[in-house]
Amino acid sequence: MSILLVNCVELTVAGNKIIFNRELSLLDHFVIDFVKLLDKHHVNYVIVSGYVAIVFGRSRNTENVDVIVEKTSQAIFNVLWSDVIKRYDCVNTSDPNDAYVEYLSEGCGIRFANKGSFIQNIELKFVHGDDDCISITQAKTLVLNGNSLRISPLEMQIAYKMYLGSDKDFEDAKFLFDLLREQLDVGKLNTFIASFRIKKTLVKRYLKGLQ
């Protein structure tokens, strides 16, 4: 177990868990409440992309939180759907059959937002491809104020953000690398960087000191 002081917040790393407490934002509450429903119905999930940087303190706005889930049967999905829509609206469709068959099973995401509001939303997708499989099978548990969230491996997240290639994505990758470099598996990070074919010039610019 190791304890770090990150942005005046004490962060504890214990095995596959990262534990810390801080003031929760509206987005944090939104994410925590939604994934509790996934846990309730035993749906395996992982949070990826921008929120992974934001939850560690990256200061930027986002309206969309990306969540990957293991593919379930339609029967299990329908039970989850019936619980989720008690609190959230599906932006794409009001029909669970359409959501499962026309969207999720075709590799498309469906978005859920608080009823009457579209400012914050969860984009839910089934696992698709090797990268998603790695993210969900090697996910880390982030314990935020006692609430458990499953997040993408940081090494995968950093490399994937570099692969996406927008200024925002590069800055997300740099933020996570600079903040948590002592906790990163450098060999794993370099493997992901190679698999995403990230240019060495970009690595030198944004991930300074990576060997």
Give the separation between CA 194 and CA 211, rounded to whole angstroms: 13
pLDDT at 100 over 60: yes
Q: Which CATH class is domain 23-152?
A: alpha beta
Has residue 8 got a pLDDT over 60?
no
DSSP structure class, residue 126: E
> What does the pLDDT look like over 113-145, one tens digit per residue?
999 887 899 999 999 999 999 999 999 999 999
Q: What is the pLDDT of residues 181-205, one digit of tens each?
A: 888 999 999 999 999 999 999 999 9
Tokens linked to 150: 């499953």
pTM of full prediction above 0.95: no
Residue 206 near residue 177 (C-beta atoms within 8 A):
yes
Cβ-defined contacts of 108-117 (< 8 Å, 24+)? 109/66, 111/64, 112/34, 112/84, 112/88, 113/88, 113/89, 114/30, 114/87, 114/88, 114/89, 115/87, 115/88, 115/89, 116/89
The stretches of 85-147 forming alpha helices (DSSP H) are 96-98, 129-137
DSSP codes of every residue in 145-158: TTEEEEE--HHHHH
- Whether residue 153 is predicted with pLDDT greater than 80 in this model: the reply is yes
Domain extent listing, the chain: 23-152, 154-198
Residue 7 has what pLDDT?
61
pLDDT at 175 over 90: yes
- Bridge partner list, 126: 69
